[in-house]
């Protein structure tokens, strides 16, 4: 345990808990020019989405693939840069591409290698299964911002912290835990309590270190309480919002980025995408609701100033919209679609090569190999596009060495616009 932390407990005990140096630390992060992180919001559509609903827009007229009602609509410079539009049934989708199409990339034909919900989620978020590998947001938060107050906000959606769980603040109840609706001691009483508890904590720390323990759990105890006290002290400033729905959680993440508290966040988008029956109607509703929230969150990012001194927070943030797999090409007897190991992903915001569609599937919705220089489907290529390749690109965007974390995995660089 270093002296700084120990003295922190001492000062908190002496001063009654409030107004400690942690405030300065927190705001220092948020000061322009002092920190230049890249933020990520991972939005997870749980259940497995139908890629023909929005992303794979080239499939109408085929006998082998059932597509929903709608039209193809161009949002990027090339004629192939299109999405599947239905302005009447899903106006929020149309509106989103109208507003942010030039900041958006779609990646089709991503091979997930699984038809299992659990394994699909793990593969999409970590690039593998069964290895206890931390997911992308955890890796980024742990390696780039472990000293932040809440480095990775896993508010909802899947969470694979692996061996880096200490940086993750998980649970949809985070706001409820921070702002309880029931009884909580008054502020002055809480202050007296903290003084007492800090004395107890210091007693424990003193005794266990006197016994020869150091590092490990002793440091954990010290740092855990330090950060705990900082969170409580800063809770009114955190202003993460009290709501628990998708949009509220997204706005909480935006606030946490801007205030220098977090660098990554994971949210679950509305609706269950596991549409084994009534596929088109249910998927359509889900996409409408998802894009409605997405619009609000991305608009907020675009409106707020970044922490770098120039540009908006959106320039500094990448929103990743993903699902654990896709759905079968054809409708089943219940007008549903079942699990399919090929999916699409969508990326919005800073560092993304916007207005583009990459990758693709064939006439039977199998993934096609891609040319890693253009990102476009290329049947002469021997390289497929799978979840580790996307993950490697995101890690690169975060300023990490993807090869160190995913040795040998090609980085899907066409997705990135690092100079923009």
Partner 1 sequence: MFHKPYTPHRLERRIYLPILSALVLCLAIAPGQSEPPLSDTGKYQLLPDHKYAVRLAVDLLGAHPTVGDLEAIVGGTKSIDELIEQYLDDERFYHRLLWIANDFFLTERTDVPFYQDVFDDELEEEIAASLGEEPLRLFQYLVSHDLPMTELATAAYTIADSTLAEFWGIDYPGPDGGSEWMKCHYTDGRPHSGILSMQSFYFRYESTAANKQRGRANHITRIFLDDDHFQRNVSLEFRLANNRESDLDNAVRYNPGCLACHSSLEGVVGHLQALQIGPVGDSTQEYEDFNNYSHQGIERWQLISERVPSYYGRPSDGKLVTLGKYLGNDPRFSYTMAKRMLAALIQGLVDYREGDLLVELDKIFRDSEFRLKDLIRAVVKTDLYRAMGVTELASEDEARLIQPFRVITPEQMATLGFDLTGQTWGEEDRPSLEYDPSFKIPAGGYDGQVIEKRSHAITPMLLLTYQRHAEAIADDVYDFELRGDPPANEKKVFTLANGSEDPVQFQTLVKTQISQMSKRFHGEMVGPSSLEVGKLYDLLLEFRNQNGGSTTRAWRDLLSLMLRDPRVYFY
Among 6, 23, 27, 372, binds partner 1 (CB under 8 A): 6
- Report the alpha-carbon distance of residue 155 to residue 173 in Å, rounded: 8
Q: Residues 56-95: x/- map of binding to partner 1 (CB under 8 A)?
A: ----------------------------------------
401 binds partner 1 (CB under 8 A): no
99 binds partner 1 (CB under 8 A): no
Part of the chain binding partner 1 (CB under 8 A), chosen from 64-72, 199-207, 347-355, 393-401: 199-207
- Report the alpha-carbon distance of residue 98 to residue 375 in Å, rounded: 23
339 binds partner 1 (CB under 8 A): yes
**Shortest distance, position 42 Cβ to partner 1, whole Å:** 13
Part of the chain binding partner 1 (CB under 8 A), chosen from 22-30, 84-92, 206-214, 296-304: 206-214
Part of the chain binding partner 1 (CB under 8 A), chosen from 175-183, 245-253, 279-287, 313-321: 175-183
- Report the alpha-carbon distance of residue 69 to residue 54 in Å, rounded: 11
- Report the alpha-carbon distance of residue 389 to residue 408 in Å, rounded: 10
186 binds partner 1 (CB under 8 A): yes
- Report the alpha-carbon distance of residue 9 to residue 197 in Å, rounded: 10
**Shortest distance, position 219 Cβ to partner 1, whole Å:** 9
212 binds partner 1 (CB under 8 A): yes
146 binds partner 1 (CB under 8 A): no
Cβ pair 399, 330 in contact under 8 A: no
- Write the CB contacts of 43 (distance below 8 Å, at least 6 apart in sequence): 157, 246, 250, 266, 267, 268, 269, 290, 294, 319, 320, 321, 322
**Which pair of structure tokens corresponds to residue 401?**
């060495």
Among 37, 158, 349, 414, binds partner 1 (CB under 8 A): 158
201 binds partner 1 (CB under 8 A): yes
Task: Supply the DSSP string of 79-106, one letter for each residue.
Answer: TT-EEEE-TTT-HHHHHHHHHHGGGEEE
Among 40, 83, 160, 358, binds partner 1 (CB under 8 A): 160
Q: 140-169: buried (b, 16+ CB within 10 Å) or exposed (e) per residue?
A: bbbbbbeebbbbbbbbbbbbbbeebeebbb
**Which pair of structure tokens corresponds to residue 302?**
């675009």
33 binds partner 1 (CB under 8 A): no
Among 243, 311, 334, 420, binds partner 1 (CB under 8 A): 334
**Shortest distance, position 170 Cβ to partner 1, whole Å:** 5
Task: Supply the DSSP string of 1-32, one letter for each residue.
Answer: --HHHHHHHHHHHHHTSSS-THHHHHHHHHST
**Shortest distance, position 336 Cβ to partner 1, whole Å:** 8
- Number of residues forming the site for partner 1 (CB under 8 A): 81
């Amino acid at each position: 345990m270093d002296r700084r932390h120990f003295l922190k407990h001492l000062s908190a005990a002496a001063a009654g808990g409030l107004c400690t140096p942690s405030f300065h630390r927190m705001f220092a992060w948020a000061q322009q020019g002092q920190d230049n992180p890249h933020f990520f919001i991972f939005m997870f559509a749980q259940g497995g989405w139908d890629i023909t609903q929005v992303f794979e827009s080239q499939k109408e007229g085929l006998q082998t693939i059932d597509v929903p009602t709608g039209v193809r609509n161009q949002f990027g410079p090339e004629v192939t840069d299109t999405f599947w539009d239905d302005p009447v049934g899903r106006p929020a989708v149309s509106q989103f591409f109208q507003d942010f199409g030039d900041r958006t990339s779609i990646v089709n034909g991503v091979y997930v290698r699984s038809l299992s919900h659990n394994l699909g989620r793990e593969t999409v978020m970590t690039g593998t299964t069964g290895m206890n590998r931390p997911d992308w947001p955890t890796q980024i938060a742990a390696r780039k911002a472990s000293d932040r107050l809440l480095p990775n906000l896993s508010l909802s959606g899947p969470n694979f912290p692996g061996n880096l769980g200490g940086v993750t603040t998980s649970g949809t109840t985070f706001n409820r835990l921070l702002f309880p609706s029931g009884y909580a001691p008054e502020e002055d009483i809480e202050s007296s309590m903290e003084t007492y508890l800090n004395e107890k904590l210091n007693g424990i720390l003193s005794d266990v270190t006197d016994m020869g323990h150091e590092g490990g759990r002793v440091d954990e105890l010290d740092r855990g309480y330090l950060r705990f006290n900082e969170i409580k002290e800063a809770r009114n400033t955190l202003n993460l919002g009290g709501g628990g729905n998708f949009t509220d959680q997204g706005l909480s993440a935006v606030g946490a980025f801007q205030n220098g508290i977090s660098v990554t966040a994971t949210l679950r988008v509305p609706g269950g995408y596991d549409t084994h029956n009534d596929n088109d109607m249910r998927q359509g509703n889900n996409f409408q609701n998802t894009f409605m929230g997405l619009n609000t969150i991305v608009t907020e990012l675009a409106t707020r100033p970044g922490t770098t001194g120039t540009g908006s927070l959106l320039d500094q943030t990448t929103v990743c919209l993903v699902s654990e797999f896709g759905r079968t090409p054809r409708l089943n007897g219940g007008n549903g679609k079942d699990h399919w190991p090929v999916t699409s992903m969508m990326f919005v915001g800073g560092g993304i090569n916007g207005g583009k569609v990459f990758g693709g599937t064939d006439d039977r919705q199998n993934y096609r190999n891609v040319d890693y220089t253009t990102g476009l489907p290329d049947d002469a290529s021997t390289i497929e596009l799978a979840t580790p390749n996307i993950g490697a690109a995101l890690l690169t965007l975060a300023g990490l060495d993807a090869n160190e974390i995913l040795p040998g995995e090609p980085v899907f660089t066409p997705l990135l616009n690092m100079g923009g």
